[in-house]
């Protein structure tokens, strides 16, 4: 799981910005939100422009050079913090896989150009390069000894290069490296906006939501999902030009789903499209930006409860909605407030002892977490 990320000179983050998921408390409620001492389900609250979306982009920068998955490059054009004079953006990640700690630090001169990389596994260097000093990298990976270690002008990540060109021995360190790679390849980001839906990671290419829901045999389940969410409807499917399309079935006519669905209903369909994968596939990390932008409070709570059932997936949500800051859903070490160029768990924003019975939204509105 992701335990910490430090970001410097990226977009709205000028000085080093740290998001730490490892500082948990011993609360005796909503224990499923913590896994191996790490926050497994988190919600980030903050006003417009505080950097919530940029935090998601920072986390997913890692997939741009370690995977060939879907990547929203348009969101990375304004890469540097506008107030910084530095030539480079720096990212430092820390992960925990059972008892193993993986630390990955790299710098870039733009989202496509790596300058340095360093991977540490359990405090031992696994791979390192600094192109400002040399194009030659070093690695202690067993099985990579015969690799050509001069990258010359290539911009490939040394981790990708090692992975693709070496037959690594089966040992404990290489096993952790494989687990790390799998985690990165199974990260998923998505958001729903007025102008549509977008995603990064996990897979490649666009998808037809209607067709995928029907193809996976989930039409009835999707209909139930919408009804449970308070959208009373009957759905049918029709094939049009080889593509399955969803229709609302009324008493006297049938109307194509996306032609009359509200923004909230469309957002729910996009969520369900990815939720199918979360239930059946191996998504290990999920970031949903403004997850409830089109949802009523009760529907937001329903979505959170469904996501909490995905115990094997580390999930981070961002929101503007204070009404979901509740000990009924999560706990004070899983809610984070983002403001003044920092992000802090609720538990660290007050000297009061927080208990399950506390109305933490009311406390927030009263200024208890200032």
Sheet containing 254-256, strands listed edge to edge, beginning at the edge strand earlier in sequence: 235-240, 243-249, 254-256
Written as six digits, the tokens of 104 are: 């990955």
Q: Report the percentage of the chain scoring pLDDT > 90.
A: 66
Q: Which residue in the block uniquely carries the two structure tokens 């948990």?
A: 24
Domain of residue 233: give its range: 211-263
pLDDT at 36 over 90: yes
Q: Which residues pair with 235 in a beta bridge?
A: 248
Look at the chain and count its residues.
370
Please choose, from the candidates 271, 276, 274, the residue with its C-alpha nearest in 3D space to the C-alpha of residue 261: 271
Burial class (CB in 10 A: 0-12, 13-18, 19+), 295: buried
Residues in Cβ contact with 128 at an 8 Å cutoff, skipping those fewer than 6 apart: 117, 118, 119, 137, 138, 139, 158
**Quick check: 34 and 24 in contact, CB under 8 A?**
yes
Structure confidence at residue 172 (pLDDT): 96
How many Å apart are CA 304 and CA 330, to the nearest integer? 9
Dump pLDDT digits (tens) for 120-143: 999 999 999 999 999 999 999 999
Same domain, 143 and 191: yes
Tokens of 62: 């890692």
Q: Does 198 lie in the same domain as 82?
A: yes
The 3-state DSSP class for residue 52 equals: helix
> Do both 218 and 97 map to the same domain?
no
Does residue 294 have a pLDDT over 90? no
Q: Is 210 helix (H, G, I), strand (E, B) or coil?
A: helix
Domain tally, the chain? 2
Beta-sheet pairing, 196-201 with 187-193: antiparallel
To 10 degrees, what angle do helices 263-280 and 297-308 make? 10
**Residue carrying structure tokens 């909605």:** 321
For 12, other C-beta atoms within 10 Å of its C-beta total 20
Evaluate whether residue 269 is within a structural domain.
no
Distances (CA, A) of 45 to 9, 223, 324: 22, 31, 10
- Indicate if 357 and 246 belong to the same structural domain: no
pLDDT at residue 279 is higher than 80: no
| Token pair recorded at residue 1 | 């799981």
Residue 370 has pLDDT above 90, yes or no: no
Same domain, 252 and 153: no
Given a contact cutoff of 8 angstroms between Cβ atoms, the answer to whether 287 and 188 are in contact is yes
- Is 346 part of any domain? yes
Residues 78 and 161 grouped into a single domain: yes
* 69-83, 114-128, 271-285, 302-316: range with lowest mean pLDDT: 271-285
Whole-number average pLDDT of the chain: 91
Q: Rounded to 10 degrees, what is the CA torsion of 144, 147, 150, 151?
A: -90
Asked whether residue 195 carries a pLDDT value surpassing 70, the answer given is: no
- CATH code for position 134: 3.40.50.300
Distinct helix (H) and strand (E) counts, the chain: 10, 19
Same structural domain for residues 71 and 126? yes
Residue 173 and residue 156 in one domain: yes
Residue 241 has pLDDT above 70, yes or no: yes
Stretch 326-342: mean pLDDT, rounded?
93
């Amino acid at each position: 799981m992701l335990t910490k990320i430090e970001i410097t000179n990226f977009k709205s983050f000028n000085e080093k910005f740290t998001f730490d998921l490892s500082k948990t408390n011993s609360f005796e409620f909503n224990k499923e939100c913590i896994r191996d001492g790490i926050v497994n389900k988190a919600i980030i609250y903050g006003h417009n422009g505080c950097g919530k979306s940029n935090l998601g982009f920072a986390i997913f920068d890692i997939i741009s050079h370690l995977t060939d998955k879907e990547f929203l490059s348009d969101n990375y054009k304004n890469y540097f913090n506008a107030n910084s004079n530095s030539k480079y953006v720096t990212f430092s990640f820390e992960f925990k896989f059972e008892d193993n700690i993986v630390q990955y630090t790299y710098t870039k001169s733009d989202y496509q150009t790596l300058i340095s990389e360093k991977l540490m596994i359990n405090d031992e260097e696994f791979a390192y390069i600094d192109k400002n000093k040399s194009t030659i990298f070093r690695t202690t990976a067993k099985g990579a000894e015969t690799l050509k270690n001069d990258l010359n002008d290539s911009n490939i990540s040394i981790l990708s290069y090692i992975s693709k060109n070496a037959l690594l021995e089966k040992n404990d360190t290489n096993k952790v490296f494989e687990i790390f790679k799998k985690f990165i390849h199974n990260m998923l980001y998505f958001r729903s906006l007025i102008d549509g839906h977008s995603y990064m990671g996990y897979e490649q290419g666009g998808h037809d939501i209607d067709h995928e829901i029907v193809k996976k045999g989930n039409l009835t389940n999707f209909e139930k999902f919408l009804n449970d969410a308070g959208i009373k409807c009957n759905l049918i499917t029709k094939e049009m030009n080889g593509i399955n399309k969803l229709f609302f079935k009324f008493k006297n006519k049938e109307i194509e789903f996306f032609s009359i669905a509200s923004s909230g209903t469309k957002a729910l369909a996009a969520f369900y499209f990815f939720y199918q994968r979360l239930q059946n596939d191996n998504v290990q990390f999920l970031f949903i930006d403004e997850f409830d932008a089109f949802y009523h409070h009760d529907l937001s709570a329903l979505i959170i409860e469904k996501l909490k059932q995905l115990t094997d997936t580390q999930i981070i949500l961002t929101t503007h909605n204070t009404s979901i800051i509740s000990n009924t859903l999560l706990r004070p070490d899983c809610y984070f407030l983002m403001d003044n160029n920092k992000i802090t768990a609720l538990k660290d924003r007050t000297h009061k002892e927080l208990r399950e019975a506390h109305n933490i939204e009311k406390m927030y509105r009263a200024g208890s977490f200032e």
